[in-house]
Structure 1
Amino acid sequence: MKKVIVHSLVLVSLVALFILGLGTKTANADTTTDDAASYSNVHQVAKSKLGSPYSWGAVGPNRFDCSGFTSYVYKTAAKVTIPRTAQAQYNKYKHVSWENIQKGDLVFFGYSKGSISHVGLYVGNGKMIDAQNRGVVKEAVHAPWWHAVGYAHVTDFAD
């Protein structure tokens, strides 16, 4: 009987640690780092999809719309689930200025902060990888056909 009680207490303690986020992974995985969340992985997955066709509502692995692409890249490369639409992605994450943007941050476009119509993945040197009518491409963030509305930080990377 004592063994059953001791085993039950150990199990309850482990469950409590997990629920409180004191285990090996934290409850808010999209704002912390772990071995899977590296910018190198994110960039590699994003680059591997260059040339994939655009299809409204598509989430991969072979066709994408803009937010389907960013969702796919984060889920596949970093095990981070981000919201499905560009507006929801914009609404969820901490906004940063253009001067403080980091590789892996999201870049948002539209008419206003309440009307986000496009999202891309910042890859450095003023460039992003995004899914748009020409498919998945690497292009300048500040191109004449885009109106950048904001930038957001999804996660801190291990590298």
Structure 2
Amino acid sequence: MKKVILSLIAAAAIFTSAAPRTYASEVKLESVVDQVLGTPYQYGGNTTSGFDCSGFVLYVLRKFNVDDLPRTSQSQARVGTSVAKDDLRAGDLVFFNTFGRGISHAGVYIGGGQFAHASSSKGVRISKLSDSYYQDRYVTARRVADEQSYVKMIGE
């Protein structure tokens, strides 16, 4: 009985002395997006009170230390590296012409042919690039996150 008690005490000491896990370092893109799904659209908004499309992009990417993006979708579409639609990876920015006058909408690609964005009619939501509305209006994609930020986004 004495050996059992000593074994339990030793095991408890080992488990309680282990370094605590820091979940903050395991932030993933899907988690950040999930936290703000349904947030209403607000022109010029870039906080959880309300987002416009480029404000949403800024909010999400800042969670992964991508801090040097311009404010508007047109300007955001000129930074980083151009990415072919077939080569998209989580965290890439996708851009659309929704008004017929050049880039007017932006979102963050989350994988599986889907992107997160702040829709002016439905707030923050997830849509498919293959939806006819977005497929017909797709313009380009840009990669703005470095490898360290990308790894943080996908949680590896």
Q: Above 0.5 in TM-score?
A: yes
Per the alignment, residue 93 of structure 1 pairs with 80
1:116 pairs with 2:103: yes
Q: Which amino acid aligns with 1:78?
A: F
Deviation per residue, 1:58-86 (Å, 9 max, x gap)? 111220000000001111x1121111110
Residues 100 and 84 of structure 1: CA distance in aligned 2, closer, same or farther (over 3 Å): same
Secondary structure of 1:45's aligned partner:
helix
Distance 1:93 1:87 in 2: 13
- Larger Rg over CA atoms: 2
Displacement of 1:42:
3.0
Secondary structure of 1:54's aligned partner:
coil
Per the alignment, residue 141 of structure 1 pairs with 129
Displacement of 1:115:
1.5
Whether the aligned pair in 2 keeps the contact of 1:64 and 1:131 (CA below 8 Å) is yes
Q: Which amino acid aligns with 2:66?
A: V
Per the alignment, residue 78 of structure 1 pairs with 64
Q: Which amino acid aligns with 2:73?
A: A
In the superposition, the TM-score normalised over structure 1's length comes to: 0.69
Distance 1:139 1:98 in 2: 15
Residues 111 and 131 of structure 1: CA distance in aligned 2, closer, same or farther (over 3 Å): closer
CA RMSD of aligned residues (A): 2.2
Count of residues in correspondence between the two structures? 121
Q: Which amino acid aligns with 2:40?
A: P
Per the alignment, residue 56 of structure 1 pairs with 43
Displacement of 1:143:
1.6
Q: Percent identity?
A: 33
Residues 37 and 118 of structure 1: CA distance in aligned 2, closer, same or farther (over 3 Å): farther
Secondary structure of 2:46's aligned partner:
coil
Runs of 4+ in 1 over 2 A off after TM superposition: 40-43
In the superposition, the TM-score normalised over structure 2's length comes to: 0.71
Displacement of 1:37:
8.9
Secondary structure of 1:92's aligned partner:
coil
Per the alignment, residue 106 of structure 1 pairs with 93
Displacement of 1:55:
1.0
